């Protein structure tokens, strides 16, 4: 299957924490653990189980970029270094290289790029809420 989502991280299911309606599924990937909040029904339909191969999929528009020290409730915080900033008229595509070498792409406003001083070599964090992660199996 081909997808337009730029961020696709294959991994293995590390944990499954089932609730009444939703489940938090955590995959161990080369960018670190990525958690997704998906329905109990989706876990069953995908046949997810600890140790099973799966892929975390994240649209670039769902990836926030931050710099400095901060505390957030977002489960997915991936540290790395900015490798590229492609500026458009209103938005920019920012690429962050995670410690493991994988690239994470974010589409953010040009104003945010300027305010944060994002440029190649700047240390930053890619932030994704678990509800923005899609799991494929």
Task: Give the pLDDT of the chain (137 residues) as one tens digit per residue.
Answer: 789 999 999 999 999 999 999 999 999 999 999 999 999 999 999 999 999 999 999 999 999 999 998 899 999 999 999 999 999 999 999 999 998 899 999 999 999 999 999 999 999 999 999 999 999 99
**Torsion sign, CA atoms 135, 129, 59, 10:** negative
Note the pLDDT of residue 1.
78
Q: How many residues does the chain have?
A: 137
Q: Domain for residue 43, yes or no?
A: yes
Q: Is position 57 within any domain?
A: yes
Asked if the structure places residue 100 within a domain, the reply is: yes
Q: How many helices (H) and strands (E) does the chain have?
A: 2, 10
Instruction: Look at residue 70 in the predicted model and tell me its pLDDT.
Output: 86
Domain that holds residue 73: 7-136
Where do we find the tokens 């696709």? 8
For the domain that residue 103 is a member of, what is the CATH number?
Answer: 2.40.50.100
Domain annotation covers residue 2: no
Domain count, the chain: 1
Neighbours of 107 (CB within 10 A): 17
Residue 13 lies in a domain: yes
**Nearest alpha-carbon partner for 33 in 52, 56, 49, 51:** 56
- The pLDDT, as a whole number, for residue 45 is 97
Residue 74 is assigned to a structural domain of this protein: yes
What is the distance between the alpha carbons of residues 57 and 73, in angstroms, rounded to a whole number? 20
Residue 1 falls inside a structural domain: no
């Amino acid at each position: 299957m081909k997808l337009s989502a730029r961020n696709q991280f294959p991994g293995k299911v590390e944990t499954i924490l089932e609730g009444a309606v939703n489940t938090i599924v955590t995959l161990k990937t080369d960018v670190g653990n990525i958690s997704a909040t998906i329905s109990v029904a989706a876990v069953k339909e995908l046949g997810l189980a600890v140790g099973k191969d799966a892929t975390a999929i994240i649209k670039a528009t769902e990836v926030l970029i931050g710099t400095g020290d901060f505390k957030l409730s977002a489960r997915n915080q991936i540290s790395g270094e900015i490798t590229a900033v492609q500026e458009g008229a209103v938005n920019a595509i920012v690429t962050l290289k995670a410690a493991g070498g994988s690239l994470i792409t974010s589409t953010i406003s040009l104003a945010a790029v300027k305010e944060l001083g994002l440029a190649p070599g700047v240390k930053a964090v890619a932030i994704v809420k678990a509800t923005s992660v899609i799991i494929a199996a």
